[in-house]
Amino acid sequence: MSDPVAVPAASGGHAAAGTQMRGLDPAQKAKLIYAQARSEMSDRLWRAALGGDGPDGDNSRPSEKRGLPMSLEALLGLLEGDGKTPSSALPAMVAAMQRGEAPVGDGSGGRRERGARDGGGDADANAGRGGQGGDLALGHGPNARYAPMLGAAASRTGLPAAALATIVHAEAAKDGDGRWLPYSRNPRSSAAGLGQFLSSTWEGEAERAGTWLNATARANGWLNERGHVRGDARAELLSLRYDPQAAIETTADYARANLDGLRKAGVTVGSGVEELARTAYIGHHLGRGDAVRFLTGSLDPARARRLLDAQIGEAQASRRIEQAGSAVAAHRSWLLDFVGRNIKPANFAA
């Protein structure tokens, strides 16, 4: 179940992707192009609005070079058959799309766009993400195949497997049976895979010593002599977000780092599985910097407003702020409500 990560040779991956891409029907091609265009535009707007590559707090590093695993130009080239695609994940992604398992056009929320549709209620919070299949457990159900991966990541990082499972469940896109869809991405941001990692956060975990992703990047020669991701290796690295083992292991490393960082900042993270899961998810959702400010009650009103706008839309954010009396109170109420409804590790206890 926990198969080794396989990184196919670039040329073979490109040729296979090109063949599969040309096998898509016109509607599928249009959907893929539209999703990519929206994703790139949203990525730029997000950076302009929040500064950097999204609400990753101290972990975000704005750079026009740190983008999506595949550019729109490369995608168009693939569809036209020029063989210039830079992503080894594409063959599997296209095959999953043809099977209806890759919601490329209306994928998971990711932490950028959580609740971006106006409304903000249960249906919004659960659309394409958490809330479905609440009685799932690690040992059975549609996501049973991920149990060994979750167990391995839990053993390595010392975090409860149920806590990791509920974080993935809140982030990942799902089909009608509650099955997590690894080949999913948010068409409105760079968030992708089971952990819905933004490009910058994924690269940061690859460059951070001691992580599973760092070891994998080093083994594949994707880092330069300074330990930074090489430009010509970025596409291969980012495509690993669609690998379930890589996504789960990185979710665990990111959670461990966030919890340790929050403790060092004086935040009480708790010791019970539910407390750890909820605190870790807030770190995953906001990034460590904003998580510290959120949990210590020091989030700036302007920042709270920008975050809430990004999550539920300006109109709904304005209504919530008016009802709550301040942007900080409105954002706190919304996020704690979402966490309370979606982060339930007891649902994943064996």
**327-342 vs 273-286: helix axis angle to the nearest 10?**
130
Over residues 258-282, mean pLDDT: 94
* Mean per-residue pLDDT, 264-287: 93
Categorize the per-residue pLDDT at 277 as very low, low, confident or very high, splitting at 50, 70 and 90: very high
Of residues 87 and 242, the one with the higher pLDDT is 242
Name the residue with tokens 């830079």: 86
pTM of the model: 0.68
Distances (CA, A) of 84 to 21, 59, 267: 12, 31, 48
Residue 262 near residue 237 (C-beta atoms within 8 A): no
pLDDT, residue 141, reads 80
Residue length, the chain?
350
Which of 173, 170, 175 has its CA nearest to residue 187?
173
| Interatomic CA distance for residues 126 and 172, integer angstroms | 11
Token digits of residue 257: 């780092």
For residue 178, the Cα-to-chain-centroid distance in whole angstroms is: 17
Residue 135, φ and ψ in degrees, nearest 5: -95, 15
**Residue 33 banded pLDDT, cuts 50, 70, 90:** low
pLDDT value of position 175: 86
pLDDT at site 188 = 63
CA distances from 257 to 154, 267, 345 (A): 13, 13, 19
Kindly tell me if the per-residue pLDDT of 135 is higher than 80.
no
Please give the residue that has the higher pLDDT: either 220 or 25.
220
Per-residue model confidence (pLDDT) at position 230: 95
Q: What percent of the chain has pLDDT over 90?
A: 48
Q: For 190-218, how does the pLDDT look when each residue is reduced to its tens digit (9 = 90+)?
A: 888 999 999 999 999 999 999 999 999 99
Mean pLDDT lowest among 134-138, 155-159, 295-299, 317-321: 134-138
Tokens, residue 78: 């693939």
Count of C-beta atoms within a 10 Å radius of residue 4: 7
**What is the tens place of the pLDDT at every residue in 75-132?**
555 455 444 444 445 555 555 554 454 444 333 333 333 332 222 232 223 323 333 3
Looking at residue 130, its pLDDT comes to: 32
Q: Mean pLDDT of all residues in the chain?
A: 73
Q: Is the pLDDT of residue 336 over 80?
A: yes
Domains of the chain: 108-348 (1.10.530.10)
Question: For residue 142, what pLDDT is reported?
Answer: 87
What's the mean pLDDT in 228-247?
92
